[in-house]
Amino acid sequence: MLVLGLTAHVAAGELRNPDGFNTPQDHVIKRSQVEDFAQVGPNATFVCTSTSKSCTEKDGPFDKNGQLKAEGKVESVAYGRADSKDVSGLQLQRTYERVIKQMGGRLVAVMLGQSEKTGQMRQVHLIERKDQKKWVFVDTRSQYTLLNLSVITETALPDILTAGEFKSQLETQGYVALNVNFDTNKSVVLDSDKPTLDQVVSLLALSPDLRLSVDGHTDNEGNAAANKQLSQQRAEAIVAYLVNAGVAKDRLVAKGFGSETPVADNRTEEGRAKNRRVELVKPKPSVHSASDKPTDSVLLSLLAR
């Protein structure tokens, strides 16, 4: 299975099921990954159950050759039996068919040439809700001890805000969320996020009096102290990038809050994803403004008393 993605953010050592799914009986999670925007493209031709013919672009996220090209947020996980024995592909596929059906989904395509006898099977299911589509790709092969599950939630390609849009949001709400991510347990700025940060450089060049706090946040998964330290390191990495790009260091401050200030429910993956964020915050004006300072005439009158 090929998963092409922009960025991933799963804490080090963290093994997580996609939302709504549990680890199959007698199995353990071998690896897992969450991609904010990626493409699942297994090297296989799929036959649509509605037509019994090779899938096309009209049938969903397939190309003209019937290969799956689903894009969006990808939650992928690989399972293996705890005793390392081979999996029963047919049994697992049947289990997933039942579970996905209970979730309101349906089978839409199967791999051309799949064999129920050997358990070498690949299936694509669709869970469709009012304003959301989830494509579920299940890959089982009896001759291996691993099976793969990918849940692709259709989302729009993340937009890069311009310097003007950053400025507008800072003026209206006092902060703006940066669409940046980091590799697992890392604090290195990714090449894919540099265009966004370059817009921040432009913003600060256009607003020479503007000072910003770069605030890092995490979800509540893992150790709280480690999360806070990591969020601080990531905020500092962004500040370092901006400084290296020519922004005066005294115009920026890095702050790491860890999981202390969530903006969504940490009990769901969607909520945790929203809580993993970096924000630019415009400092609030001082309580005592320049107009509050006594004038020379007032000072003279006070001294004369």
Q: Using alpha carbons, select from 141, 68, 148 the residue that is nearest to residue 108.
A: 68
For the segment 207-215, the average pLDDT, to the nearest whole number, is: 95
* pTM (2 d.p.): 0.57
For the segment 149-157, the average pLDDT, to the nearest whole number, is: 87
For the cut 80, the answer to whether the pLDDT of residue 295 exceeds it is no
Estimate to the nearest angstrom the gap between the alpha carbon of 68 and the chain centroid: 21
The whole-number pLDDT of residue 226 equals 94
For the segment 200-223, the average pLDDT, to the nearest whole number, is: 94
The whole-number pLDDT of residue 53 equals 96
Least confident of 148-157, 183-192, 269-278, 280-289: 280-289
For the cut 50, the answer to whether the pLDDT of residue 289 exceeds it is no
For the segment 228-257, the average pLDDT, to the nearest whole number, is: 96
Q: Are strands 175-178 and 27-40 parallel, antiparallel or unpaired?
A: unpaired
169: buried, middle or exposed (CB in 10 Å: 19+, 13-18, 0-12)? middle
In the chain, DSSP assigns E strands to 3-5, 27-40, 46-48, 70-81, 105-111, 121-129, 132-140, 146-153, 175-178, 212-217, 252-256, 277-281
Task: Take residue 167 and report the two structure tokens written for it.
Answer: 């400025």
For the segment 215-239, the average pLDDT, to the nearest whole number, is: 95
For the cut 80, the answer to whether the pLDDT of residue 298 exceeds it is no
For the cut 90, the answer to whether the pLDDT of residue 139 exceeds it is yes
pLDDT band at 7 (very low <50, low <70, confident <90, very high): very low
What string of DSSP letters covers 219-284? -SSS-HHHHHHHHHHHHHHHHHHHHHTT--GGGEEEEE-TTSS-SS-TTSHHHHHHHSEEEEEPPP
Q: Using alpha carbons, select from 37, 27, 28, 31 the residue that is nearest to residue 12.
A: 31
The whole-number pLDDT of residue 131 equals 80
Q: Measured over all CA atoms, what is the biggest interatomic distance in the chain, rounded to whole angstroms? A: 103
Q: What is the pLDDT of residues 93-108, one digit of tens each?
A: 999 999 999 999 999 9
pLDDT band at 12 (very low <50, low <70, confident <90, very high): very low
pLDDT band at 8 (very low <50, low <70, confident <90, very high): very low
More confident residue, 232 or 84: 232
For 186-216, letters b (16+ CB in 10 Å) and e give ebebeeebeebbebbbbbbeebeebebbbbb
Class for domain 163-281, per CATH? alpha beta
The structural domains of the chain, with segments of one domain joined by +, span: 3-153, 163-281
Percent residues over pLDDT 70 in the chain: 87
> Which residues lie closer than 8 Å to 248 by C-beta, 6 or more apart?
none
The whole-number pLDDT of residue 161 equals 83
For the segment 65-77, the average pLDDT, to the nearest whole number, is: 93
For the segment 124-147, the average pLDDT, to the nearest whole number, is: 87
